Chains A and B, each alone.
Chain A
């Protein structure tokens, strides 16, 4: 099964279960959880179902393409369901069939894994899903997002697309995965990966990124003052990415690093509050009228 057949099969599966198949967001993010369609939509009472491929960047995780599993740019397949439905585990297992995986023919486990994102003020409980000893999916019930208790609770499923495809195709490096007929992942990403690794580790202009962080931070706060939550959140994401680049470049001391984490967290929490509050008061006055 080719890589793009995997994502299309997942799109179809989750579309049939009421999900919006959302295109990738166009601001750099560290994981699908940062997508506004996850982070913001996990807040508040409205039901929400979304799925789709989520390209993500973690500059410090790059290995110049040498390691078969670790990249600074990679794909997740992200599913968010709010409220988390009963029997979601069974639904998840059913999603493996279209990929050609019969759970009954493997040793599949739900192994405890608790998740926390200090920059998002978020945490949740759930599992890593292991197939024959390999982690293929992360499964999280959000308890808090942006420092706000989730009610109702969303469940987030994150498939590790590269490793699933490697397994399905029996290849040992993500760059050997066939994406479309005759086209391998390495053709699309190997140069991109090496060059970005050189940039992240060797050539990030730290002064520029520190400056950008300051300016993006100020911009987030200015936009929040204008009640422009969505643009504000994008600038918060840019702060997060600037911080990730500084971190990969290795110019942050431990204390400085903690300071940046706190600053990103304050921004994302402010965005979460600004996103949620008007809608909560709206629904409160609606229920008073009713």
Chain B
């Protein structure tokens, strides 16, 4: 069976896109082949800064015979009163490739429509492929595309060449004036000539011979191996960094490592400064000595193997020296003042015109943090740390170092605090409090840091809600969504079982009226619960389970634990059936008079007392289930899922499910809405107790739809 090779040669792609397209290209290709009825085997993907390619094995030579079904206009619009096809129907038939007489009316859920059905398939795949491949180029997803020259096609960067081979046969395909052929290109500098491919299967070897490591996984290994070896040759250890490894992998086609060095005098700069300059600004790997300390050497991954690498090394070293000189200048200049002095300058940095300066914000955060500490609990030591840290929190924003290297915010606060000789716990809190730095990034590990982080982030959320700048759709110019997610993840990871509403109120209390109206608190709370639901959905929980948990909870950690508990319960025998009965009970119970208690003296039927007697055990079962969830599910990073699976629930579930038999018998045996008002009210009260007995598991009404289906 033939093999298809499709290679899209491009001008240099952004590195993040290379990673993304490695899976996006084969996915789109597979989808298009399937909808064209083209059978195929495995797909193998290649992605470098200059090329995206896919090999499709075992491609069928003819498309599959299949029935193509198209839905046309509504039946009422397709034929006139005499049953003659209307213009609309004739147009639809023509577009579908059938005679108007072949149109058939079929019933659907939305009414009667005309359908065109025809046998398709059996086409020569080699003839189908050119248009299909052009469609793949056109529709390959990307967040932002560009145009170039005088062409209409948009792509991530300009196309440079195309290779389309079915075995040894070139497929005729032309885009933006480029004709697809059998010639690919080698490495830009190491193999600047065209590389003719005799056969699609030659692709991987031909590229390897032309100095291109086209397979991303292989290239990544090559980057890591070369970098580690270069460090090891100098008796050093490479500082591993997965993000940097991935980025560098997608900046080169042929990696080779060059070890360079810098003046050891720079080593008295904070390590974070040295690492940030090397990693973020130059994409160099820092190295370490045996004793774990940073060495005055780095490894750069070059995309070129040059005859004399001393020129390249000297270039790297000169650029790094310039940046480290700057960093040294800032470090020295910033330390001429203390953090407390820098904090004064926050008054000159705007947060938002309606929400004041950074000094105003930090003052609000300080108040909110104290209230949160009372609410959530802090030890005497933690309170002392807070007292010292609060006036210095985010003061590093006013330093030149953070102005130039904003990614070091917090890290520098910590470094300056240490340099001033402040207690270590205070230094750590100043960095911990600015975490997490983004989605998926590390959370505060200390309780003091977590308090600061939650207060700071929720101050942003409450503030922008208060001035009417809540996020809408995907637009979030003030980072409210990001701040919300950070606060919720931090809250959950600390396992704080405090109603979310109280947390929001504690933060809103720092704003002056009328900004902190109850309406704002309610809107923020609702917005935050929606984000909780989103994070739980990221843990692969069904939407209804998430809704049931969120609606039935007051604390975020409670919602998270309930969601996982409910998900576990739904897979256990008997629970779904119980839910159906519970729904009936809860629906009827809505008519109950909340002021009335059940009076056993009013039981008139033998099925009533057993149901009433079963309730204490059901309640105990619910309590045991909740206790198991608390015990087994230690606080986790919301969105990533707990570190344990719930087990040993059977005994407790059995206690709950035992309610099913008497409830069943009750509904079979009695009529609730009897004429006798006292008996009727008593039966409704009994059902209200049934509903209430399970209510701690969450808003179960959300789940019953699942059970019924």
Residues of A within 8 A of B403 (CB): none
Closest residue of B by beta carbon distance from A66: B329
The reply to whether B315 and A108 contact each other, CB–CB distance below 8 Å, is no
CB distance from A140 to the nearest CB of B (A): 10
Are A131 and B149 in contact, with the CB atoms below 8 A?
Answer: no
* A contact set with B: CB distance below 8 Å: 68-69, 83-87, 89, 103-112, 114, 124-125, 127, 131-134, 141, 143, 150-153, 155, 167, 253-255
B242 at the interface (CB under 8 A from A): no
Most B CB contacts (10 A, CB to CB) among A104, A114, A167 go to A104
Residues of A within 8 A of B258 (CB): 107
B17 closest partner in A (C-beta): A112
Q: Which residues of B contact A103 (CB under 8 A)?
A: 189
Q: Are B146 and A110 in contact (CB under 8 A)?
A: no
Q: Of the candidates B148, B150, B284, B306, which one forms a contact with A104 in the assembled complex, judged by CB atoms under 8 Å apart?
A: B306
- A141 and B350 in contact (CB under 8 A), knowing A106-B315, A110-B11, A112-B14? no
Given contacts A89-B11, A110-B11, contact A83 B353 (CB under 8 A): no
The reply on B320 being an interface residue by CB < 8 A is yes
* Also in contact, A141 and B311, with CB within 8 A (given A107-B304, A109-B303, A253-B350): no
Pick 26 A–B contacts, CB within 8 A, sort by A: A69-B322, A84-B158, A85-B149, A86-B160, A87-B160, A104-B189, A104-B304, A104-B306, A106-B304, A106-B311, A106-B315, A107-B300, A107-B302, A109-B251, A112-B16, A125-B144, A125-B157, A132-B312, A132-B315, A133-B315, A133-B316, A134-B318, A153-B146, A153-B147, A167-B315, A254-B353
List 5 tightest A-B contacts by C-beta distance, closest first: A132-B315, A110-B12, A112-B14, A152-B150, A107-B302
- Name which residue of chain A comes closest to B16, CB basis: A112
Residue B307, interface by CB 8 Å: yes
- Inside 8 A of A131's CB, which chain B residues have their CB? 315
Are A84 and B350 CB-contacts (below 8 A) given A110-B11, A132-B316, A133-B282?
no
> Are A127's CB and B12's CB within 8 A?
yes
In the bound complex, what is the Cα–Cα distance between A7 and B553 (angstroms)?
A: 70
- Checking A108, A110, A141 against B148 with a beta-carbon cut-off of 8 angstroms, the contacting residue is A141
B263 CB–A CB distance under 8 Å: no
Tell me, yes or no, whether B632 is within 8 Å of chain A by CB: no
Report B-chain residues with C-beta under 8 Å of the C-beta of A87.
160
Measured between alpha carbons, how far is A110 from B15 in the docked complex, in Å?
10
Which chain A residue has the least Cβ–Cβ distance from B144?
A125
Find out whether the CB atom of B306 lies under 8 angstroms from the CB atom of A254.
no
Residues of B within 8 A of A153 (CB): 146-150
Q: Are B149 and A132 in contact (CB under 8 A)?
A: no
Q: Is B319 interfacial (CB 8 A cutoff)?
A: yes
Residues in A whose Cβ lies below 8 Å from that of B189: 103-104, 108
Contact B320 A105 (CB under 8 A): no
Q: Say yes or no: A155-B315 contact (C-beta < 8 A), given A105-B307, A107-B302, A109-B303.
A: no
Q: Which residues of B contact A68 (CB under 8 A)?
A: 322
Residue numbers in B under 8 Å from A104 (CB-CB):
189, 304, 306
Task: Give the docked Cα–Cα distance between A114 and B16 (Å).
Answer: 13
Interface residues of B in 497-544 (CB under 8 A from A): none
Query: Which residue of A111, A124, A141, A143 is within 8 Å of B251 (Cβ)?
Result: A111
Nearest-Cβ distance from residue B118 to partner chain A, whole angstroms: 41
* Chain B residue at minimum C-beta to C-beta distance from A253: B350
Closest Cβ of chain A to B261, distance in Å, is: 14
**In contact, A112 and B149 (Cβ under 8 angstroms):** no
Residue B308, interface by CB 8 Å: yes
The answer to the question of B177 belonging to the interface, with a C-beta cut-off of 8 Å to chain A, is yes
A131 to B303, CA, bound (A): 11
Q: How far is the CB of A131 from chain B (nearest CB, A)?
A: 7
B627 CB to nearest chain A CB (Å): 53
* A141 CB to nearest chain B CB (Å): 5
Determine the chain A residues whose CB is within 8 A of the CB of B306 once the complex forms. Answer: 104-107
CB distance from A128 to the nearest CB of B (A): 11
Residues of B within 8 A of A255 (CB): 353
User: Bound state CA distance, A11 and B311, in angstroms?
Assistant: 27
- Complex contact B312–A106 (CB within 8 A): yes
Report the separation of the CA atoms of residues A104 and B190 in the bound assembly, to the nearest whole angstrom: 8
A134 engages B304 (CB within 8 Å):
no
Are A105 and B308 also in contact (CB < 8 A) when A134-B315, A153-B147 are? yes
Interchain nearest-CB distance for A123 vs B (Å):
10
- With contact pairs A153-B147, A254-B353 given, residues A86 and B177 touching in the complex (Cβ less than 8 Å): yes
- Bound: A131/B315 CA distance, A: 8
Within 8 A of A (CB), among B332-364: 350, 353
**Across the interface, which residues of B come within 8 angstroms of A109, CB to CB?**
12, 251, 303
State the Cβ distance, A283 to closest chain B Cβ, in Å.
Answer: 14
Query: B149 to chain A: which residues have CB within 8 Å?
Result: 83-86, 152-153
CA distance A197 to B304 in the complex (A): 41
B350 adjacent to A254 (CB under 8 Å)? yes
Question: What's the Cα separation between A151 and B154 when bound, in Å?
Answer: 12
User: A143 touching B146 by the CB < 8 A rule?
Assistant: yes
* B636 CB to nearest A CB, Å: 35
Bound-complex Cα distance A267 to B189 (A):
45
Q: How far is the CA of A110 from the CA of B312 in the complex (A)?
A: 16
Q: Which of B146, B148, B284, B322 has the most CB of A within 10 A?
A: B148
Known: A109-B12, A111-B12, A141-B146. 13 other contacts (CB 8 A): A83-B149, A105-B307, A106-B304, A107-B306, A107-B316, A109-B251, A127-B12, A133-B315, A134-B318, A134-B319, A141-B148, A153-B146, A153-B148
**CB-nearest residue of chain A relative to B260?**
A133
Docked pose: A87 CA to B160 CA in angstroms? 7
Give the CA-CA distance A167 to B312 in the complex, in Å.
12
- In the complex, chain B residues whose CB is within 8 Å of the CB of A127: 12
Complex Cα–Cα for A254 and B150 (A): 40
Name the contact of B319 in the complex, choosing from A110, A124, A133 (C-beta under 8 A): A133
Residue of B nearest to A255 (CB): B353
In the complex, what residue of chain A is closest to B14 when comparing beta carbons?
A112
Closest to A131 in B: B315
- A107 and B303 contacting across the interface, CB-CB below 8 Å: yes
What separation, in Å, do the CA atoms of A127 and B146 have in the docked complex? 13
User: Separation in Å of the A48 CB from the closest CB of chain B?
Assistant: 13
CA distance A158 to B315 in the complex (A): 20
Per-residue contact bits, chain B 137-152, to A (CB 8 Å; 1 contact, 0 not): 0000000101111100
Q: Which residue of B lies closest to A104 (CB)?
A: B189
Q: Which residues of A contact B146 (CB under 8 A)?
A: 124-125, 141, 143, 153
Chain A residue numbers with a CB within 8 Å of B300 are 107, 133
Nearest to A129 among chain B residues (CB) is B12
- How far, in Å, is A163 (CB) from chain B's closest CB? 10
* Contact partners of B308 in chain A: CB under 8 A: 105
Instruction: Write the B274-307 contact mask toward A (1 if CB under 8 angstroms, else 0).
Output: 0000000010100000000000000010111011
Q: How far is the CA of A142 from the CA of B491 in the complex (A)?
A: 45
In chain B, positions 108-153 with a C-beta closer than 8 Å to chain A are 144, 146-150
* Contact call A107/B312, Cβ cutoff below 8 A: yes
**Given A125-B157, A155-B148, A112 contacting B315 (CB threshold 8 A):** no
Distance A29 CA – B11 CA, assembled complex (angstroms): 31
Contacts of B150 in A (CB 8 A): 83, 151-153
Residues from chain A with Cβ under 8 Å of B314 in the complex: 132
CA–CA, A107 to B190, complex, Å? Answer: 11
Give the distance in Å from the alpha carbon of A86 to the alpha carbon of B11 in the complex.
10
With a CB–CB cut-off of 8 A, which chain A residues contact B158?
A: 84, 86, 141
Instruction: Tell me how far the C-beta of A151 lies from the nearest C-beta in chain B, rounded to whole angstroms.
Output: 8
Could you tell me the distance in whole angstroms from the C-beta of A246 to the nearest C-beta in chain B? 17
Nearest Cβ on chain B to A27's Cβ, whole angstroms = 30
Query: Once bound together, how far apart are the Cα atoms of A108 and B12, in whole Å?
Result: 12
**Chain B residues, CB < 8 A from A152:** 149-150
A108 and B322 contact, Cβ closer than 8 Å, known pairs A84-B148, A143-B147, A254-B353: no
Q: Which residues of A contact B251 (CB under 8 A)?
A: 109, 111
Q: How far is the CA of A69 from the CA of B326 in the complex (A)?
A: 11
State in angstroms the CA–CA spacing of A68 and B304 once bound together. 28
| Most chain B Cβ neighbours within 10 Å, of A83, A86, A143, A151 | A86
B13, B308, B314, B315 pick with most chain A CB within 10 angstroms: B315
Complex Cα gap A108–B189 (Å): 9
